[in-house]
Amino acid sequence: MSQKPKLGQNFLRDQTAIRRIVAALGDISAQTVVEIGPGQGAITGQLAAQAGRVIALELDRELAPRLHAFLGSDRVTVLEQDVLQFDFASAAAEARQKLAVVGNLPYYITSPILLRLAESAASLNRAVLMVQREVADRIVADPGSRDYGLLTVTVQMYGPVERLFTLPPGAFSPPPEVHSTVFRWRFAPRFNELGVEEAPFLSFARQVFALKRKTLANNLRAASYSPDTIQTALCNAGIPPQARAEELSIEALARLFLELRK
């Protein structure tokens, strides 16, 4: 199919990369796979040959019908739909299994899509996603690195992530101005394991990472915690008083959260 790119799309052309992305999903012969932004169907074609069923979510009003004509079948369903509105829970219930997800995420809405997948974690088992390299650096970052922050903690609270490989602009048409990285996300939310409530903990994370250059204590004071409460919580959680949020593991952040909730 020949089609002018719209909605910020950069179509993947590297056939080796396409095969690696699909292979990273593992055995999908009996799996329902949701593809985000299939575009011209380069990855969709590989999925169709290997997956039990493919649900391709394409928002572009011109690309969606072309993709349906090109690949639509009993096993490939093309939906002209925004992934942010897609009901993953209903699709998983219909499939009678948790879903796999794959996609070359549009750069301009990467974070909202990641948050949508996190919200739907109970219906998903794994995802292989391509994002801008700098975003991937933040997603897979370790505590103490300059890339570690709110996005890191939010994504990793829903399961482990691993960087797979990075592609240059020339792997796409038209070439973007940035490199792109593929990573794998296995959905296994950690809230119960760490003894924290989902919404309150994520709200707390937003507070402590509000100003990355400031210490935890300063960010917590800005969030209306009293100095005495902060000092006691930091001490009980075994965290130095001048620590910054970016220095703390998810486990340490959970300990601090629980101390502050007492």
Confidence check: pLDDT of 250 > 50: yes
Residue in this structure with the two tokens 């969709």, named with its chain if needed = 44
Q: Which residues contact 171 (CB under 8 A, 6 or more apart)?
A: 12, 13, 14, 17, 180
The confidence score (pLDDT) of residue 7 equals 46
CA–CA separation, 154 vs 24, rounded Å? 23
The confidence score (pLDDT) of residue 70 equals 74
Confidence check: pLDDT of 8 > 70: no
Question: Pairing relation of β-strands 180-186 and 161-167?
Answer: antiparallel
Residues 78 and 54: beta-carbon distance below 8 Å: no
Among residues 50, 13, 16, 6, which one has the least CA distance to residue 31?
A: 50
- 194 is known to lie in a ligand binding site: no
CA–CA separation, 150 vs 167, rounded Å? 25
- 12 is known to lie in a ligand binding site: yes
| pLDDT tens figures, 126-173 | 999 999 999 999 999 999 999 999 999 999 999 999 999 999 999 999
| Size of the chain, expressed as the number of residues it contains | 262
Confidence check: pLDDT of 32 > 60: yes
CA–CA separation, 256 vs 248, rounded Å? 10
Confidence check: pLDDT of 194 > 60: yes
Q: Structure pTM?
A: 0.92
| pLDDT tens figures, 36-77 | 999 989 999 999 999 999 999 999 988 888 888 878 788 999
Express as a percent the part of the chain with pLDDT over 90: 85
CA–CA separation, 36 vs 85, rounded Å? 12
The confidence score (pLDDT) of residue 56 equals 96
CA–CA separation, 64 vs 223, rounded Å? 46
The confidence score (pLDDT) of residue 212 equals 81
Confidence check: pLDDT of 87 > 60: yes
Which of 57-66, 114-123, 245-254 has the least mean pLDDT?
57-66
- 159 is known to lie in a ligand binding site: no
Instruction: Report the C-alpha dihedral over residues 139, 141, 147, 153, rounded to 10 degrees.
Output: 60
The confidence score (pLDDT) of residue 69 equals 86
What type of residue is 7? L
- 58 is known to lie in a ligand binding site: yes
Scanning 80-223, the segments in alpha helix (DSSP H) are: 88-95, 110-119, 133-139, 150-156, 191-194, 198-208, 216-222
The confidence score (pLDDT) of residue 252 equals 98
Helix (H) or strand (E) holding 126: strand 124-132
Residues 143 and 248: beta-carbon distance below 8 Å: yes
DSSP 8-state secondary structure symbol assigned to residue 122: G
- 253 is known to lie in a ligand binding site: no
